[in-house]
Every structure is written in structure tokens, then in C-alpha cells.
A and B are shown apart, each in its own frame.
Chain A
Amino acid sequence: MLVELFLDLYSPPCRAIYIFAKKNGIPFELRPVELARGEHLKPEFLKVNPLKKVPALRDGDFLLAESVAILLYLSRKFQTAAHWYPADLQARARVDEFLAWQHAAIQLPATNVYLCKTLLPYFSGQPVDTVKLERLISRLTATLQHLDQQVLAVRPFMATEQVSLADLMAFTELMQPIAAGCEVFRDWPRLTSWRARVEAVLGPELIQEAHRLVLQPRDPREAQRDPQVAQILVHRLQERLS
């Protein structure tokens, strides 16, 4: 029985898991969960993850949520190459440190920029809240500055001397504002070269495959194909961005 991965490739942590599994030849059954159709809120999915979020994993009877936990689980179960999550005490601690920090420091602001600039207007039909967007962008910028001037000033990758889970998470998360037309790499030379290094390791085809959906403009006709769902999503997005 194959591991099942419940993913929506519009979501950065889902892409991280997708890329990780593919890159490491981990066999899995892809279970698409379309966030834009509110599938994460439906009873069938709540049986898999009552926290109503993707990604989620099912391995026989075992259910697991949270991208970091899923990445660690896959790396242990399938004994992936050591550089993803090094055995050395201090190197491992650096990866743990980054994985803990990135939730609020990268994932939250990067995704919020995308939600505010692209997704909320898409579902609500309302123009972008530019005041809110500016505030969200400035929070993201503070993180980008830290990454470029502190983190990457002392090493080639986010946590260690080689690509690790830290880089995978950071990369897919920083692509989210790119999908919203925010050039997060433009002003930051070290981040730009880091991006190229990560792409070289992961492989441009795999990255393109994982990012194809999110980088495409959404079809405006699809937004109201289920108006009730759209309304619920708008409400949730507004709450999240408030």
C-alpha cells in the first residue's frame, strides 16, 4: 500500500513535499485536494485532517498533518540522503531552527501577500486592499532582508553547507509571492544566487512541474462556479488577513 499525499500544488508546503517525494524517488499516491473548491473543508477531507489544511499524509491507518512533520516522516521512513536532515548534532539543530522559524517568518508573510494580492480579489471580485498589501509586503521584506544579509551571508544554503529541508521549505514559500507578481528576489543578490543553487540541485524540470499551477493566471470564470464556496473562502481569507 502506497503512502497517500493529500496535496494542492497551489500551496507552498504541498509543493515542498511533492518535490521532496519526487526527488527522492518515494512512491506515493497523489490525492489532489482543491482548496479553491473548498475541498479542505468537506467531511471526507476532515476525516484525513480535522485541522482543515493541506498537506496531509496517510500511510495505511496512520494519518499525519503539518508539512514539517511529513517531511521528517518521509525522510526517516525512506531513509533519504543525509544532507536533507543531517545527523550531526549542530547541523541538525540548524535545520530544526530554520524549520521552526520559517512558519511565522517566511510562510505566513509570503502566503499572506499572495492571498491579499491574488486570491482574495479573485474570489471576492473586490479590488486589492493596497494599504493592507503594503503592510504585508513590508513584513515580508523584513524577512527577505534577514535572509539575504544575515542567513545567507554566512553559508550557501539556509541551514547548512548543502541543500536541506530548510531550503526546500524556503524555496517553495518564496515562490508564492512571485506567483502574485511580487519580485521577492530582485533586490537581494544573495537570495538570487541561493535560488539558482537550489534550482540546480532540485532540477529545473521538477521545479517547473511543481509550480506550473500556481504560476498560471487563474481563470476568472472559475471563481464563481460555486458561489457558496467562494463566499466561505472570502470570509476565511478576510479573517486570516485581518
Chain B
Amino acid sequence: MGLELYLDLLSPSCRAVYIFAKKNGIPFEFQFVDLLKGHHHSKEYVEINPLRKLPSLRDGKFILSECVAILFYLCRKYSAPSHWYPPDLHTRARVDEFMAWQHTAIQLPMNKILWAKLLIPMITGQEVSAERTEQLLQEVKHSTQQFEEKFLQDKLFITGDQISLADLMALVEMMQPIGCNYNIFLNSSRLAEWRMRVELAVGSALFWEAHDRLTKLQEWDCSTLDPTVKEKIRDLLHRFK
């Protein structure tokens, strides 16, 4: 059995892994775990990842979760070109720095926007207050500002002249609000230009293939959602109050 990647491309972490594997010609079996159908709570998937999160990787008997760990693993095992995770001590540290920071600074707030503006109203029928939404948007603005000032600055990419795992991770996460038609790249031409460079470095066809499901999210008929999953989502509501 070859490498298996358990993915739903709605998740930014899954998109990062998918794009990286495809771009580097890493052969894998795409195991679709449909988040919209609640399949991450299925018995089969809970055996793979008891935390019920995506992405997961299975390589023979070895099972691995956490996007950052999976990207590093794939990089090493398949000897990806060194610009993805440069060997130089300082440059590598720059990638590590971003990969650590992004969990709470980028991924969380970007995802919250999608939940607040689309998924919560869609699934629960309840609106998230304008005040709370505005607070989340401010958080996002603040994070992207920090990203520009500290990580990107005036360089082409985060580590300099070439794309690395950090740019890939940053971009797929910043694309998340597109799912609810909120385009954060309109706020800054520097960010928009960087976005284009990353898309081109990855390849536009691959990039948009990976983002197809996200761009169609608003068309989702959520009446098909498993009631137990709906309950779990209702429990999340208090975080948006």
C-alpha cells in the first residue's frame, strides 16, 4: 500500500499538503474525508486520527497528523528541492518561525471569518453579531499587517527569492475567507502581488484545482449535514458570541 493522504480541500492545511505533494510529484492515494458530511467523525476515520482532524498521512503502518509535520516529513522522505525548507541555519529558522506563528496568528482568525460569515448562519440559522464579526475582521487585518511587516517585508517570498513551505502555508490560509467571498488581498497591493507570485510558483492550474471546493462552498446544501455534526457545531457557537 502506498502513501495515503486523508484530505478535504476545504481545509487550508489539506490544501497545503495536497499542493506540495502534487507539485513535487509525490505519488499518493487521495482519501477523501468529507468534512461537510461529518466523515471526520466516522468510525473509520477516528481510527486514523482520534482527534478527528485533517489532514492525516498514512505511510504503511506509520500514521501522522498535523500539516506542518506532514510537510516536513514529505520534504525529507521525498527529497524535495531545498528551497522548500532551506538547509541554511538562519533561513530554515525563518520558515520554522512562520510555521510556528501561523497556527494561532493566521490559521485561527482566517477560519473564524469563514465560520462567522458563512458556516454558522448557514448551519444554525443564527447570525453572528456585526460587532463580533467586525472584531474578527480587525484581528485578521492585524495579523496580515504583522505578516507583511515581519515575515514578507520587501522580499519576493518569506525567505527571499524563492518560495518555501512558509509561503505555501500562509497563502492557503489567507485564501480561506474567499469561501465566504471575503478577499483579504484587496487590502494591500504588496500582499496581492505576493499572492500572485506564490500562485505562479506553484502553478495556477494546480492552485485553483486545490481551491475549487472552497470557491463552491456557498453553494453547499447543508440540509444534508449529519444531525450529530450539527449539534457539535452548535456547541462552537459560544465562541462567536
Name A's B-contacting residues (CB within 8 A).
50-51, 62, 64-69, 72-73, 76-77, 89-90, 92-94, 96-97, 99-101, 103-104, 108, 135, 146, 150
Chain A residue contacts of B66, Cβ below 8 A = 96-97, 100-101
Contact of A69 among B73, B76, B96, B238 (CB under 8 A): B96
- Determine the distance from Cα of A68 to Cα of B50 in the docked complex, in whole angstroms: 25
Of B37-45, B97-105, B207-215, the one with at least 4 CB within 8 A of chain A = B97-105
Flag if B97 contacts A89 (CB, 8 Å).
Answer: no
B164 CB → nearest A CB, Å: 14
Flag if A64 contacts B103 (CB, 8 Å).
Answer: no
- Chain A residue with Cβ nearest B97: A69
- Between-chain CB contacts (< 8 Å), 27 pairs: A51-B101, A51-B150, A65-B101, A66-B96, A66-B100, A67-B100, A69-B100, A72-B92, A77-B89, A89-B76, A92-B76, A93-B62, A94-B64, A96-B68, A96-B69, A97-B65, A97-B66, A97-B69, A99-B100, A100-B66, A100-B67, A100-B68, A100-B99, A101-B66, A104-B108, A135-B238, A146-B50
Question: Would you list the 4 A-B pairs with minimal beta carbon distance, nearest first?
Answer: A96-B69, A69-B96, A66-B100, A97-B69
B21 CB → nearest A CB, Å: 15
- Chain A residue with Cβ nearest B87: A76
B123 CB → nearest A CB, Å: 22
Flag if B100 contacts A50 (CB, 8 Å).
Answer: no
Chain A residue contacts of B47, Cβ below 8 A = none
- Determine the distance from Cα of A87 to Cα of B146 in the docked complex, in whole angstroms: 33
Quick check: is B149 within 8 A (CB to CB) of the other chain?
A: yes
Name B's A-contacting residues (CB within 8 A).
50-51, 62, 64-70, 72-73, 76-77, 89-90, 92-93, 96-97, 99-101, 103-105, 108, 146, 149-150, 238
Flag if B104 contacts A103 (CB, 8 Å).
Answer: yes
Chain A residue contacts of B97, Cβ below 8 A = 64-66, 69
B192 CB → nearest A CB, Å: 22
- Determine the distance from Cα of A146 to Cα of B53 in the docked complex, in whole angstroms: 14
- Determine the distance from Cα of A100 to Cα of B98 in the docked complex, in whole angstroms: 12
Flag if A64 contacts B146 (CB, 8 Å).
Answer: no
Chain A interface main SS type: helix
Flag if A68 contacts B96 (CB, 8 Å).
Answer: yes
Flag if B69 contacts A104 (CB, 8 Å).
Answer: no
- A76-B89, A103-B103 in contact; A146/B96 too (CB < 8 A)? no
A1 CB → nearest B CB, Å: 15
- Determine the distance from Cα of A198 to Cα of B19 in the docked complex, in whole angstroms: 39
Chain A residue contacts of B72, Cβ below 8 A = 92-93, 96
Flag if A89 contacts B77 (CB, 8 Å).
Answer: yes
- Chain B residue with Cβ nearest A150: B50
Flag if B103 contacts A104 (CB, 8 Å).
Answer: yes
- Determine the distance from Cα of A214 to Cα of B171 in the docked complex, in whole angstroms: 38
Chain B residue contacts of A94, Cβ below 8 A = 64, 69
- Chain B residue with Cβ nearest A108: B104
Flag if B90 contacts A62 (CB, 8 Å).
Answer: yes
Chain B residue contacts of A90, Cβ below 8 A = 62
- Determine the distance from Cα of A72 to Cα of B72 in the docked complex, in whole angstroms: 13
A13 CB → nearest B CB, Å: 10
Chain B residue contacts of A65, Cβ below 8 A = 97, 101, 150
- Chain A residue with Cβ nearest B50: A150
Flag if B64 contacts A97 (CB, 8 Å).
Answer: yes
Chain A residue contacts of B150, Cβ below 8 A = 50-51, 65
- Determine the distance from Cα of A64 to Cα of B94 in the docked complex, in whole angstroms: 8
- Determine the distance from Cα of A72 to Cα of B92 in the docked complex, in whole angstroms: 9
